[in-house]
A and B are shown apart, each in its own frame.
Chain A
């Protein structure tokens, strides 16, 4: 079933009625200079969020209770109706262009945005909403909404939005926005804000980030790219809190009947990426934290870095996590984060991988693997450096045959022996 804007259909009346659905987002052309972000708003009967925790986006990946889950690559949301709080009667799903207005971008630069609603379990497609966006001046687009009507869950295709991006969209639903990266004027002092990078001569100096205010939801996200490869996060008081590094990637083709448009990976084959790091302490000791050789690290004693979980299947929708205990950042000298394709062909282009680094009270940093090779198993993602207590993050995305070459490239000087995950 193809939906038009304004059209709705009943999910509860389907036979069998899905207990959970997922909405997958895609766009054409797939390769675009637009930095697209997805978000979901869980709303009460009044059409507002209960609080900022009902706003699911790149800085908050799920709704408490698990009723809404955002896929790590941001291209899908799973809604489990039975797990939603009773007060939630509507879930709005939106796509926004990061700093679109500032950069003079809009959805008019895409040909089409497309949403597919599927049964989360069987992956059977329930409806497709193809939206021609050629003429759209908006930078925030409400794709559709799941809503409760007479005790029945329905989905409506919307296809409307705002010219001012995520900020006005979030405010529409009652989310307090502390920092709107696409607002007309940069926020008043303290300045400068790292969200408004100025073109700088190469190599651009790392800009210190203004200390953020504690509460309202922070929209700020900084993508490290060619123009802006590094940033320095300023230490506040006792160093940093727990620094969470996430590696996520496009794990399969979306299954079900999805072809072409969603089938970015041929054959639905899964690629498993492993996240790890090389580290060097201030006292000169060094090593690796990785699943290989079961060196998962430790948060409370050196190296103060731990690889979380041991998801060898790569089945976790959230990808892989590595935590760094920021309280001990002063004992670390530098860290190189890396990803490895352990099995199968190292086709990095198909992974569409994204690294995010979040530290409490700091903007989310994002690094996209936007250059690819298919002949090397390892990719150095980012360099974290202790510079006078501050945390300087530099995008790398450089490929290596193995640990040894990577070690040499960044001068860690470790001793390497062959290892295995078991």
Chain B
């Protein structure tokens, strides 16, 4: 039975899912029901060191760089409209292969061309992030972002992080203005 987290909620994976080695991080949202420009949402991951920054641009996993050099994080590709059941985008994380310097993997979703299309997360419905044990296909945890967002164009949905030698998952739900570019700058990506 998956654990449902609220904004700010945390979960010890060694306690709740001791067998977990390969995690599928699924992110989803509903496609626009009304007429007009589609929402094109992109999921990305940032591999961060103890200082909360990437070691290099290679630690930014997104639609143009689907796999980290270490191979521990892999993006399964872009879904342009959010149509279809279940996850809209997913990333696979092999926890055992994450380099020791990486303390945290942040999963973000940004709205493509948000400013031009005048779109924001206040207009996106039923956003969620969930963790699935990739080997057993069992859902471990889920965070429904619900209606927390307002005019942000970039959001941290959740994060996997090391704490006292174990992996934890946190439901973040923190939004930013400025889209993917602002998100990248925050983590030390050169764009």
Q: What's the nearest-Cβ distance from chain B to residue A161, in Å?
A: 6
B118 interface residue per 8 A CB criterion: yes
Query: How many Å lie between the Cα of A4 and that of B119 in the bound state?
Result: 10
**The residue from B34, B36, B146, B151 contacting A6, defined by CB atoms under 8 A apart:** B151
Q: Residue on A with the closest CB to B153?
A: A6
Q: Which of B107-135 contact A (CB under 8 A)?
A: 118-123
Query: Given contacts A6-B151, A7-B151, A172-B33, is CB(A149)–CB(B123) below 8 Å?
Result: no
Q: Residue on B with the closest CB to A162?
A: B35
Query: Given contacts A158-B123, A160-B123, is CB(A7)–CB(B34) below 8 Å?
Result: no
Q: What's the nearest-Cβ distance from chain B to residue A153, in Å?
A: 12
Chain B, residues 82-97, CB within 8 Å of chain A (1/0): the string is 0000000000000000
A376 interface residue per 8 A CB criterion: no
The answer to whether A6 touches B121 (Cβ under 8 A) is yes
Which residues of A are found within 8 Å of B146, using beta-carbon distances?
149
Which residues of A are found within 8 Å of B149, using beta-carbon distances?
6
Chain B, residues 20-56, CB within 8 Å of chain A (1/0): the string is 0000000000001111100000000000000000000
Q: Residue on B with the closest CB to A90?
A: B147
Query: How many Å lie between the Cα of A161 and that of B34 in the bound state?
Result: 5
Q: Residue on A with the closest CB to B7?
A: A150
Size of the A side of the interface (Cβ < 8 Å), in residues, is 19
Query: How many Å lie between the Cα of A8 and that of B120 in the bound state?
Result: 12
B4 interface residue per 8 A CB criterion: no
Query: Given contacts A6-B119, A6-B123, A7-B122, is CB(A154)–CB(B147) below 8 Å?
Result: yes
Chain B, residues 150-171, CB within 8 Å of chain A (1/0): the string is 1100000000000000000000
Q: Residue on A with the closest CB to B34?
A: A160
Q: What's the nearest-Cβ distance from chain A to residue B59, in Å?
A: 31
Bin chain B's interface residue count: 10 to 19
Chain A, residues 1-25, CB within 8 Å of chain B (1/0): the string is 0001111100000000000000000
A147 interface residue per 8 A CB criterion: yes
Q: What's the nearest-Cβ distance from chain B to residue A353, in Å?
A: 33
Query: How many Å lie between the Cα of A137 and that of B35 in the bound state?
Result: 9
Q: Which of A169-186 contact B (CB under 8 A)?
A: 172
A326 interface residue per 8 A CB criterion: no
**The residue from A4, A138, A147, A158 contacting B151, defined by CB atoms under 8 A apart:** A4
The answer to whether B122 touches A156 (Cβ under 8 A) is yes
Query: How many Å lie between the Cα of A8 and that of B35 in the bound state?
Result: 21
Which residues of A are found within 8 Å of B121, using beta-carbon distances?
6
Query: How many Å lie between the Cα of A147 and that of B146 in the bound state?
Result: 11
A363 interface residue per 8 A CB criterion: no
Q: What's the nearest-Cβ distance from chain B to residue A397, in Å?
A: 36
Query: How many Å lie between the Cα of A142 and that of B119 in the bound state?
Result: 15
Query: How many Å lie between the Cα of A190 and that of B18 in the bound state?
Result: 68
Query: How many Å lie between the Cα of A315 and that of B149 in the bound state?
Result: 40
Q: What's the nearest-Cβ distance from chain A to residue B178, in Å?
A: 15
Which residues of B are found within 8 Å of A8, using beta-carbon distances?
122, 147, 150
**The residue from A149, A157, A163 contacting B35, defined by CB atoms under 8 A apart:** A163
The answer to whether B122 touches A6 (Cβ under 8 A) is yes
Chain A, residues 198-234, CB within 8 Å of chain B (1/0): the string is 0000000000000000000000000000000000000
Which residues of B are found within 8 Å of A6, using beta-carbon distances?
119-123, 149-151
The answer to whether A161 touches B35 (Cβ under 8 A) is yes
Query: How many Å lie between the Cα of A156 and that of B147 in the bound state?
Result: 10
Chain A, residues 87-130, CB within 8 Å of chain B (1/0): the string is 00000000000000000000000000000000000000000000
**The residue from B35, B120, B123 contacting A138, defined by CB atoms under 8 A apart:** B35
Residues of A within 8 A of B (CB): 4-8, 137-138, 142, 147, 149, 154, 156-158, 160-163, 172
A-B contact pairs, 20 of them (CB 8 A): A5-B120, A5-B122, A5-B123, A6-B120, A6-B122, A7-B120, A7-B122, A8-B147, A8-B150, A137-B35, A138-B35, A147-B147, A149-B147, A157-B122, A160-B123, A161-B34, A161-B35, A161-B36, A172-B33, A172-B34
A158-B123, A160-B35 given; name 16 further pairs at CB < 8 Å: A5-B118, A5-B122, A6-B120, A7-B122, A7-B151, A8-B122, A137-B35, A138-B36, A142-B34, A149-B146, A154-B147, A157-B122, A160-B36, A163-B35, A172-B33, A172-B34
